[in-house]
Amino acid sequence: MESKVALVTGSGQGIGKAIALRLAKDGFAVAVVDYNAETARQVADEITQQGGKAVALRADVSDREQVFAAVEQAQQQLGGFDVIVNNAGVAPTTLIEDITPEIVDKVYNINVKGVIWGIQAAVKAFKALGHGGKIINASSQAGHVGNPELAVYSSSKFAVRGLTQTAARDLAPLGITVNAYCPGIVKTPMWDEIDRQVSAAAGQPPGYGTAEFAKRITLGRLSEPEDVAACVSFLAGPDSDYMTGQALLIDGGMVFS
Task: State the sign of the Cα–Cα–Cα–Cα dihedral 146, 119, 57, 130.
Answer: positive
Q: Is 153 a catalytic site residue?
A: yes
Sheet holding 54-58, edge to edge: 54-58, 29-34, 5-9, 83-86, 133-138, 176-183, 247-250
Which helix (H) or strand (E) covers residue 250, if one does? strand 247-250
Residue 76's CB is within 10 A of a number of other CB atoms, namely 11
Euclidean distance between CA atoms 139 and 131, whole angstroms: 26
Closest CA to 194 of 183, 66, 76, 85: 183
Euclidean distance between CA atoms 208 and 186, whole angstroms: 15
Task: Render 173-222 in DSSP notation, one character per residue.
Answer: GGTEEEEEEEE-SB-SHHHHHHHHHHHHHTT--TTHHHHHHHTT-TTSSP
Local structure of 77: helix, strand or coil: helix
Write the CA distances from 187 to 24, 73, 184, 222, integer angstroms: 21, 31, 10, 7
Q: Name the maximum alpha-carbon separation found in the chain.
A: 56
Residue of 35, 153, 181, 208 marked catalytic: 153
| Catalytic residue positions, numbered | 153
